[in-house]
Amino acid sequence: MSFISAQNLSLGYDRTVVVENLNFVVEKGNYLCIVGENGSGKTTLMRTMLGLQSPIDGQILFGDGLKKNEIGYLPQQTVVQRDFPASVYEIVLSGCQSHMGLRPFYTEKEKALARKNMERMDIADLKNRCYRELSGGQQQRVLLARALCATTKVLLLDEPVSGLDPKVTYEMYELIKELNDSDVTIIMVSHDITAAVKYASHILHVGKTLYFGTKDEYISSNVGKFFMNMEGGEPA
Ligand SMILES: Nc1ncnc2c1ncn2[C@@H]1O[C@H](COP(=O)(O)OP(=O)(O)OP(=O)(O)O)[C@@H](O)[C@H]1O
Ligand SMILES: [Mg+2]
């Protein structure tokens, strides 16, 4: 059975349907890029995969040894979150909360994991700095280290490069590629079709047109050709 499979999934809020009849699978080690216009339901899909909201119809199944609480999440950043008044270490450590249950303190093992992931993301020297004083690229590394404290199986990344300059964007993509090369399954929302096509193994396109397939299938599909020509823009 696949790591994650979505079957006839319809998503939305109250009775408003945002996406209908979504079908896709994610296998262990895949790098899935989710692309689509603003408001097409990408973040809603991520939240549904995390169990933060229920589908209107259909289901998401986990298999191949993956459990619901073994998914790390880097949320789409809002202005308020960028201003969060906590230290880098506190934020990274809070990634361990998904396996703490009701225990109100962190164990030595969890603290060691937080330190290891800060080193892995090259932010160990920022440990005691306040998160809101960091640059956008540094903040995204902090959030990646946090997500890695939750799991090394699957990471859901919602626009991890938005607002970053080209150099830091490139570094971030390379960092995510390294994680994928070390067997972390990646599911990433992005507006950057060029990067999606460069890095991903599979593409899921949501919006008026739905598409799921391998990167190569997407490149040669009509929908892929159309959106690659638009360079990630919206259809006329
Ligand atoms: N909490 C909510 N309650 C009601 N409607 C919502 C809620 N959150 C999002 N929506 C609506 O659902 C639709 C999909 O939103 P979503 O945030 O999933 O889009 P998105 O594809 O992530 O967009 P973007 O590229 O701008 O991040 C939008 O029309 C949005 O207005
Ligand atoms: Mg979104």
Nearest-CA residue for atom 30 of ligand 1: 39
Domain ranges of the chain: 1-66+153-236, 78-152
Q: Is the pLDDT of residue 209 over 70?
A: yes
What's the chain's average pLDDT?
Answer: 91
Q: Which residue has the higher pLDDT, 81 or 105?
A: 105
C-alpha 236/C-alpha 230 separation (Å) is: 10
Q: Distance, CA 180 to ligand 1 centroid (Å)?
A: 28
Q: What is the pLDDT of residue 79?
A: 66
C-alpha 162/C-alpha 192 separation (Å) is: 9
Its pTM stands at 0.92
What's 1-66+153-236's CATH class?
Answer: alpha beta
Cβ of 226 closer than 6 Å to ligand 1, yes or no, is no
19-44 residue pLDDT tens: 999 999 999 999 999 999 999 999 99
Cβ of 41 closer than 6 Å to ligand 1, yes or no, is yes
Q: Which atom of ligand 1 is nearest to the CA of 14?
A: 4
Of 45-59, 70-84, 158-172, least confident by mean pLDDT is 70-84
H helices of the chain, in order, are: 42-49, 79-82, 88-93, 108-120, 136-150, 166-181, 193-199, 215-220, 222-229
212-223 residue pLDDT tens: 999 999 999 998
Q: Which 3 state secondary structure label does DSSP give 8?
A: strand
Q: CA angle at residue 173 from 11 to 194, to 5 degrees? A: 70
Cβ of 76 closer than 6 Å to ligand 1, yes or no, is yes
Q: Distance, CA 52 to ligand 2 centroid (Å)?
A: 15
% of the chain residues with pLDDT over 90: 79
CA neighbours closer than 13 Å in the CB half-sphere of residue 113: 20
Among all bound ligands, the one having the nearest atom to the CA of 44 is 1
Q: Which amino acid is at 204?
A: L
Q: What is the pLDDT of residue 231?
A: 62
14-23 residue pLDDT tens: 879 999 999 9
Cβ of 162 closer than 6 Å to ligand 1, yes or no, is no
